[in-house]
Each structure stands twice: as structure tokens, then as C-alpha cells.
Amino acid sequence: MVDFDDAKKFADEHDKQVDEGLQKAGDEASQRFGHEQQVDKLVNEGQERTGSGDEVP
């Protein structure tokens, strides 16, 4: 079973990789489903909540 504290620690330690993954997932979701503004907002929120904030320009 996944321990959320361990997941948060991992995300904080690998912030840039997590941010890049969120960006790629957001790009794919925008292409498949549209709603680009909503997807971008969600991706930015996720990036801000991990590590030291958004590491991907």
C-alpha cells in the first residue's frame, strides 16, 4: 500500500521530474479532451504544491 507521506517526500525530492511529468500529462489531456485553460490551471496547481514550486517554465 502506498504511504502518502512517502509519495509527498519523493515528489519533493524530485520536483523537476514531477513538474515535467505533470506538464506532459497536461499537454496530452489538452490534446485529447480540449479544455486547455482548465487543464493548464490544474497542472499549475499541481506544480505549485510539489517541492519548491513550479520548476518548469
Computed on alpha carbons and rounded to an integer, the radius of gyration of the chain in Å comes to 12
Q: What is the pLDDT of residues 1-57, one digit of tens each?
A: 668 888 888 888 888 898 899 999 999 999 999 899 999 999 999 888 876 665 665
Report the predicted TM-score, pTM, of the whole model to 2 decimal places.
Answer: 0.74
Q: Which residue has the cell 506544480?
A: 47
String of DSSP letters for 16-43 = HHHHHHHHHHHHHHHHHH--HHHHHHHH
Query: Torsions phi, psi of 9, nearest 5?
Result: -60, -45
Instruction: Report DSSP state, residue 49.
Output: T
